[in-house]
Chain A
């Protein structure tokens, strides 16, 4: 077993544990607090709690503006997922398997939308669209979101390609598989969790995106984050808590699904490597 780098005695370690506990509490409590708020019988979460009620969820169902916004956001996010998964997967192959001058610069450029302040990207695209008369169409929003979603696909697919034992492909070809069969039967199954994780991240990054939508959405394209933003600026009723609980539950479920899929894929790849090329992956 690997030697631990722990040097702290039991007292220091306990103190560290308390600190770690406090920090994780700080991280998780705000996410959890919206749950009781959404089931509140009052118009705010008070202590002691005024009672349990489903009124805010009912209101969500009654008012179709929320459903409309949710559908619009889902639709845009699906377009973004499709576009960025295709562009990003091809791009990751190019980056990892290709060799050309300025590779690092290209990678930095592709990842830059993640680091450059959102407002800069948003207003640049807004000015551009305004000149092209593209402001106010769902497709235009999807194109803009693809810019910030594609890095997630590139990162995840690149990671799975880098951890890839190329001897598996050679083994398949030595056994007589064509290029296409090698890709379909060996390469794709191994990198699929990477593609899947990238696609999930792409979906969520578009579904949650506010700043770009704030500038380029027309009055008839109120995405879910936009509607939440508007609502947060006027009143703070727990309808927002209800919608947040639904959104967070979906995100958390997706997160654990992707973690689980990747762990499973890793085990399978290791087993496959063991069988075909005798381990040492």
Chain B
């Protein structure tokens, strides 16, 4: 490939494609949100409504909640994978990655089968005799949390896992030799060194949660409207400028969350690991 003076030229076809079919449409959408004569009327119209504000508050609340819960579930699992035998670790990794390869649509369907009124869980509990009448689980906020945590867990597990794997075991040995107990070693050595993974995973999960559409639309109730669903609804009602304005705010929110940690690149590492 030395025949090319600058191999960077090989990027031209891809960049041209993305500029026309990705950046330009997004740019035009942002332009649309500015309204006629840069009045920003669509923003005023969109955010003047109580519904929009409510949807934003709900979405951020769910995104924060889902992030914290996935962290709580992912950290112990990641730590266990790093410290267990190789065979067990390989098995657990396969189980983490297989749902990754299953479409969100199919996984939402699976939760419908599990959580429904006549679903597996209700039927099982009735059969055992724990409950007499089915519990309402599907089309609730609870279902939204469960479904979203299920989809987003691997995005939290993988960065934490890679941070834990990167910790030099000699540091742990040194701390132990200096008389630190297990709790102290964990608190003062392992936890701080795994923080980059925790932060990368949390930002990734938070940002992805902000944009969720399919899962809440299928297994949530009417009260569980998230930003993406509101945008889609506005598009269906032909309120395109308002839809664009809300999308613009969601885009800014997403980019701000990413910029806060500053490293979009870490996502490449996360996904690279998931695929490789």
Q: For residue A106, which residues in chain B have a CB less than 8 angstroms away from its CB? A: 11, 15
A244 to B102, CA, bound (A): 9
Contact with A along B9-20 (1 / 0, CB 8 A): 111111101100
**Inter-subunit contact B118/A108 (CB<8 Å):** no
Given contacts A31-B102, A143-B21, contact A20 B164 (CB under 8 A): no
**Inter-subunit contact B17/A146 (CB<8 Å):** yes
Number of interface residues of B (CB under 8 A): 107
Q: For residue A34, which residues in chain B have a CB less than 8 angstroms away from its CB? A: 106, 109-110, 113
A117 to B25, CA, bound (A): 15
**Inter-subunit contact A3/B103 (CB<8 Å):** no
A172 to B155, CA, bound (A): 40
A228 to B210, CA, bound (A): 24
A72 to B108, CA, bound (A): 23
**Inter-subunit contact A24/B275 (CB<8 Å):** no
Cβ of A80 under 8 Å from chain B? no
Q: For residue A229, which residues in chain B have a CB less than 8 angstroms away from its CB? A: 105, 214
Q: For residue B23, which residues in chain A have a CB less than 8 angstroms away from its CB? A: 109
**Inter-subunit contact B26/A121 (CB<8 Å):** yes
Q: For residue B3, which residues in chain A have a CB less than 8 angstroms away from its CB? A: 179
Cβ of B98 under 8 Å from chain A? yes
Which one of A29, A108, A198, A262 lies within 8 Å of B265 (CB-CB)? A108
Q: Please provide the chain A residues from 1 to 60 with a CB less than 8 Å away from any CB of chain B in the complex.
A: 2-9, 12-13, 16-17, 19-20, 23-24, 26-31, 33-34, 37, 44-48
User: A156: shortest Cβ distance to chain B, in Å?
Assistant: 6
User: B251: shortest Cβ distance to chain A, in Å?
Assistant: 6
Cβ of A77 under 8 Å from chain B? no
Contact with B along A107-144 (1 / 0, CB 8 A): 11111111111111101111110000000000000011
Q: Please provide the chain B residues from 102 to 123 with a CB less than 8 Å away from any CB of chain A in the complex.
A: 102-114, 116, 118-120, 123
Q: For residue A247, which residues in chain B have a CB less than 8 angstroms away from its CB? A: 102-103, 106
Q: For residue B9, which residues in chain A have a CB less than 8 angstroms away from its CB? A: 94, 98
**Inter-subunit contact A17/B84 (CB<8 Å):** yes
Cβ of B51 under 8 Å from chain A? no
**Inter-subunit contact B276/A262 (CB<8 Å):** yes
Q: Please provide the chain A residues from 147 to 201 with a CB less than 8 Å away from any CB of chain B in the complex.
A: 147, 150-152, 154-156, 158-159, 179, 183, 187, 197-198, 201
User: A5: shortest Cβ distance to chain B, in Å?
Assistant: 5
Residue from A88, A94, A126, A179 with most neighbouring chain B CB atoms (10 Å): A94
**Inter-subunit contact A118/B213 (CB<8 Å):** yes
Cβ of A76 under 8 Å from chain B? no
**Inter-subunit contact A112/B264 (CB<8 Å):** yes
Which one of B24, B172, B212 lies within 8 Å of A5 (CB-CB)? B172
**Inter-subunit contact A8/B83 (CB<8 Å):** yes
Given contacts A3-B170, A47-B123, contact A159 B272 (CB under 8 A): yes
Contact with B along A87-107 (1 / 0, CB 8 A): 110110111011110001011
A109 to B23, CA, bound (A): 9
User: B232: shortest Cβ distance to chain A, in Å?
Assistant: 6
Q: For residue B6, which residues in chain A have a CB less than 8 angstroms away from its CB? A: 98-100
**Inter-subunit contact B207/A47 (CB<8 Å):** no
A116 to B32, CA, bound (A): 19
A2 to B128, CA, bound (A): 49
Which one of B1, B213, B228 lies within 8 Å of A183 (CB-CB)? B1
Cβ of A75 under 8 Å from chain B? no
A29 to B81, CA, bound (A): 19
Q: Please provide the chain B residues from 56 to 107 with a CB less than 8 Å away from any CB of chain A in the complex.
A: 73-74, 76-77, 79-84, 92, 95-99, 101-107
User: B24: shortest Cβ distance to chain A, in Å?
Assistant: 7
Given contacts A45-B120, A94-B10, contact A33 B29 (CB under 8 A): no
User: Chain B: which residue is nearest A126 at the CB level?
Assistant: B235
Given contacts A115-B258, A225-B105, contact A31 B99 (CB under 8 A): yes
User: B263: shortest Cβ distance to chain A, in Å?
Assistant: 9
A225 to B58, CA, bound (A): 27
Which one of B98, B154, B185, B268 lies within 8 Å of A255 (CB-CB)? B98
The interface of chain B, by Cβ under 8 A from chain A, is: 1-3, 6-15, 17-18, 21-26, 28-29, 32, 73-74, 76-77, 79-84, 92, 95-99, 101-114, 116, 118-120, 123-124, 126-127, 150, 153-154, 164, 167-170, 172-173, 176, 182, 185-186, 190, 204, 207-208, 210-214, 218, 227-228, 231-232, 235, 240, 243-244, 247, 250-251, 254, 258, 264-265, 267-268, 271-272, 275-276
A-B contact pairs, 15 of them (CB 8 A): A17-B84, A44-B119, A91-B10, A94-B12, A97-B1, A107-B268, A109-B23, A115-B267, A124-B28, A147-B18, A152-B271, A211-B214, A228-B105, A233-B218, A251-B103
